[in-house]
Amino acid sequence: MTREFASVGVVGLGTMGAGIVEVFARNGIDVVAVEVTEAALERGRATLIGSTDRAVAKGKLAAADRDALLARVDWQVGLAALHAVDLVIEAIPEQLDLKQRIFAELDRVCKPETVLATNTSSLSVTEISVATTRPNQVIGIHFFNPAPVMKLVEIVRTVVTSAEVVADVERLCARLGKVDVTISDRAGFIANALLFGYLNHAVSLVEARYASREDIDAAMKLGCGLPMGPLALMDLIGLDTAYEILDTMYRRGGRDRRHAPVPLIKQMVTAGLLGRKSGRGFYTYERPGSPVVVPDDQTPVGAESTLEAGARGIAKVGVVGSGTMATGIIEVFAKAGYEVVSVTRGAEKSGKLFEAVKTSLNKGVVRGKLGEADRDAALGRVTWSATLEHLADVDLVVEAVIEELSVKKALFASLDEICKPGVVLATTTSSLPVIDVAMATQRPADVVGLHFFNPAPVMSLVEIVRTIRTSAETTATAKAVCGELGKTGVVCGDRSGFIVNALLFPYLNDAVKMLEASYSTADDIDHAMKLGCGYPMGPFELLDVVGLDVSLAIQRELYLELREPGFSPAPLLEHLVTAGYLGRKTGRGFRDHTRR
C-alpha cells in the first residue's frame, strides 16, 4: 500500500535539520520540528525564519508563501511530539551511540507504521536500524547542504529495508522536487565516499607544504571548474565533521588509506580550528559563522615563505613547438605585449603555425573580444623561425614539444648551449619530472615547469612547478610572467600530477572502482557528484571527455611515483582501454557516444 506521508517529523534543528524542515514545509507537508531544549528549538526556528526571509528578499519566495510555510511547522521539545507523524527524519550529530538511542526512543514513541529515517552522511544505516524493533522500516535519506537548494538525495537501503518503504521514499523525493539515487548501505555512500578521499588528499598536500592553501584551492577551481577549492570546502563543512566522516569511512570501508584522516586534520580540530563555525580553519574568517575571509594574524597553515629574490625582467620570449599548445602559448604571449620568437622544425611547420595563430586571433575579432588593430599588433610581435639559434637573445624559453622525456632532454641540452646566461627555461610538461629535464642543462636553477592548460588562451590557470634546484628568483619570475599574461600562477613542487592531476585523477579512479564493485550505476554516480557537490561534470562524463587511455596513463604515473595502494589503477579502467573503449575519441567509453 502506497504511503502519502501527510506529516513528517524532523529531529535535530541545526543547519541541516532546519533546512530539511524548510524542504517539507515548502512542499505543503506538515512538519513537527523537534529539539531537546527550548534554546535549541529557538535557534532552529531562527535559522528557518532567516532562510525564508532571505528567499523573500531575493524574490524567490512570496511573503504569503513564507507565512504559509512557517504555519505548517509545529515546534516542539521532546520526541513524544512525534507520536502521530508518518515519517521521522533524524538530523543529529554523527555519533552512532547517540543515533541508536534516538532511534530506540522513536521506535517506542511512534506509531507502528511510521517510517524512521536517518540523514547520516557516513554512519551505517544498518547499525542504526537494529536499535529498533522495525529495521525493515528504517532507511537513510541523505539530504545535501543547503537542503532547500541542493537537488540530490541519497536513499540508502539496508539488506532488510522493505522494498515498499524504498519505493514510498523515492516517490516522496520526487514530490519534493529532488533527484534521488538509491544505493546500498556502504561507508560514505556515493558522494562522500568520492568527495572525502579527494579532500583528505588535498589536506595532505598542505601538510607536506607541497603547495599553499590558496594555490591548491585556485588550481581546482580554475583547472576543474569546481565551485569551491578543497580547503575552503573543508572549512565550510567543518574540520570536526570532516574528521568524523573520514574516520568512519576508514573504519567501515575496508581501512583504505585514502580515507585515513591526515594527522593535520586532528591537530586542527584539537586546537579548535574547525573552519567557518569557529572563525578559523585553513583560512581565518571575519567572525565565527561568517563566510568572509580576512588576512591571517600569523603564517597560515601550509603557506610558503615569501620569496626572497625578485623577478627578472622578461621582454622577449621564445616558444618551441608546433602543436595546439604551442599555438595557444604564442597567442597568449603576443596578445600580452611580449616579443615572441616561434621555433619549429622547418618552414612548412612555421607556416602552418602562423595560420593557426592567425585563425585563432581572427576568431577573437569575430567574437568581439579583440580589435583588428590588436590582432595585427599581436601577429606583428611574432618572429617565425626554423632554427633554435634565433633564441640566443630571448629572456624566457617555453618548450611545448611532444611528451617524451628523451626529446625534451635533448632540446634543453641544446637550449643550454644557445641561450644567454640568466634565461629562464620552462617546460610545459603535464606529466614528466621537471628535474629530469633541468638536469639535462648546466643551469638547473633556471629551469621551471610552466604547465598551461588547454586551450591556453582561454584557461586562466598555470601550474608553476619548482624543482629542488629551481632558484627562488626563477620561481618569482615565472609567477610575475603569469600575472602579466592575466593568468593565475599556482606554485607547487615537482611531483607527479602537480596539483590538478594529482587530486583529480585519484578521484576519477575511485569512481571507476565504485562502478566496478557494482555499488551504483555510472549515471547515478554522475548525478551524485553534479547535484550533490556542484561539480560541472560527473566523473564518467569527464573520463569519456579526457580519454580513458589518457586517464589510465596518468593514474599509472601517480601510482608508480607515490606507491599508494589506493592509487592503483582500477582493473575496469585497464580492461576498457585494452578493449579499445577510450571515450569520445572512439565513440565508446563508459557510455556509447556513437548515437549522439
Assigned CATH for 191-294 = 1.10.1040.10
Give the active site residue among 7, 119, 122, 192.
Answer: 192
Note down pLDDT in tens along the chain; length 596 residues: 678 899 999 999 998 999 999 999 999 999 999 999 999 999 999 999 999 999 999 999 999 999 999 999 999 999 999 999 999 999 998 889 999 999 999 999 999 999 999 999 889 999 999 999 999 999 999 999 889 999 999 999 999 999 999 999 999 999 999 999 999 998 889 999 999 999 999 999 999 999 999 999 999 999 999 999 999 999 999 999 999 999 988 988 777 888 999 999 999 999 999 999 899 999 999 999 888 999 886 544 444 443 446 889 999 999 999 999 999 999 999 999 999 999 998 888 888 999 999 999 999 999 988 899 999 999 999 999 989 999 999 999 999 999 999 999 999 999 999 999 999 999 999 989 999 999 999 999 999 999 999 899 999 999 999 999 999 999 999 999 999 999 999 999 999 899 999 999 999 999 999 999 999 999 999 999 999 998 999 999 999 999 999 999 999 999 998 888 888 999 999 999 999 999 888 889 898 765 54
Q: How many CA atoms lie within 13 A of 134 on its CB side?
A: 19
Sign of the Cα torsion 126, 129, 134, 137 reads negative
Name the nearest CA neighbour of 457 among 282, 542, 343, 330. Answer: 330
Q: Top-level CATH class of 501-578?
A: mainly alpha
Give the active site residue among 7, 119, 129, 142.
Answer: 142
Give the active site residue among 7, 119, 121, 430.
Answer: 121
* CATH superfamily of this structure's domain 7-184: NAD(P)-binding Rossmann-like Domain (3.40.50.720)
Domain definitions of the chain by residue range: 7-184, 191-294, 316-493, 501-578
Whether residue 278 lies in the annotated active site: no
* CATH superfamily of this structure's domain 316-493: NAD(P)-binding Rossmann-like Domain (3.40.50.720)
Whether residue 142 lies in the annotated active site: yes
Residue matched to cell numbers 557516513? 122
What pLDDT is recorded for position 347?
84
Residue matched to cell numbers 613542487? 493
Whether residue 259 lies in the annotated active site: no
The DSSP secondary-structure symbol of 517 reads T
| CA 345 distance to own-chain centroid | 39
- Those residues whose C-beta lies under 8 Å from the C-beta of residue 561, and which sit 6 or more positions away, are 495, 496
Sign of the Cα torsion 535, 540, 544, 550 reads positive
What pLDDT is recorded for position 306?
38
- Those residues whose C-beta lies under 8 Å from the C-beta of residue 238, and which sit 6 or more positions away, are 274, 275, 276, 277
Whether residue 121 lies in the annotated active site: yes
Model confidence, pTM: 0.88
**Structural contact between residues 235 and 276, judged by C-beta atoms closer than 8 angstroms:** yes
Do 501-578 and 316-493 have the same topology in CATH? no
Cell of 307: 620569496
